Amino acid sequence: MVLLSPSIGAMRRLLRTCEQYAEAHGLRYNSTKSEMMVVKAGNKTYSTLPSITLAGTPLKRVANFKYLGHWVSENLSDNLDLERERRALSVRCNMLARRFARCTKEVKTTLFKAFCQTFYTCSLWVSYTGKAYSALRVQYNNAFRVLMGLGRRCSASGMFCEAGVDGFHAIMRKRCYSMLQRVSASPNIILNSVAHRWDSPVVKYWLLLHAPYIRLDHKNY
């Protein structure tokens, strides 16, 4: 469970509500496994903060934490989660290359699509460096080369086209478009409002993937 709050005081009230609920239902929160993270607002940061406790135990402050398999950072950077996905992709590719080296190209292609195109939570990546994004793209291309026994210098676009497999950028566009459709059609008012906020960083990124060369200048209108 994750609690979000704009202030220390509000967070304390949320925690008290959780403690009261747990006490009324015979439950107990594990304070040693609970953590606190302060999201940075631009260049603003706080070296010291008032103590926040859960069940009488001060919560440990962290710079990153993993929630449902996705890494969240205090500066809202997605570089750490991109690296998680890159390492996971490398492990899956090596496993496939070892176990299915003697299979036909058709079987290998099917396995690659099933195990190497998931990119878990990739539609949430908004803030990252070009280096981290490029490293994942290169890992994806090399994974297909290794599995298919191709040379390292062969054209990435050519090998994917010949095998009928989506390239890295095509997958990113499809994943983000799918997320945009689901969020827009969601009956949840919070999710629905996010999809219709044109100033939202997530929505801007989703649209940029599909229209990277469109530039609007309000001075011309």
Instruction: Judge if 92 and 158 occupy the same domain.
Output: yes
Joined together, the tokens standing for residue 126 give 């908004």
Among 124, 140, 160, 125, which Cα is nearest to 92's?
Answer: 140
Neighbouring CB atoms inside 10 A of 70's CB total 16
Neighbouring CB atoms inside 10 A of 221's CB total 5
Joined together, the tokens standing for residue 125 give 């990546």
Instruction: Judge if 167 and 190 occupy the same domain.
Output: yes
Instruction: Judge if 130 and 28 occupy the same domain.
Output: no
CA distance 123 to 126: 8
pLDDT digits 0-9 by tens, 10-21: 999 999 999 999
Instruction: Judge if 40 and 89 occupy the same domain.
Output: no
pLDDT exceeds 80 at position 25 = yes
Considering the domain boundaries, does residue 2 fall inside one? no
pLDDT digits 0-9 by tens, 128-164: 999 999 999 999 999 999 999 999 889 999 999 999 9
> For the stretch 140-179, what's the b/e string if a residue is b when 16 or more beta carbons lie within 10 angstroms of its beta carbon?
bbbbbbbbbebeeeeebeebbeebebebbeebbbebbeeb
Instruction: Judge if 172 and 84 occupy the same domain.
Output: yes
Average pLDDT, integer, range 1-8:
90
Instruction: Judge if 201 and 135 occupy the same domain.
Output: yes
Please provide the average confidence, as pLDDT, over all residues in the chain.
87
Average pLDDT, integer, range 76-83:
94
Instruction: Judge if 53 and 26 occupy the same domain.
Output: yes
Q: Which domain holds residue 181?
A: 77-221
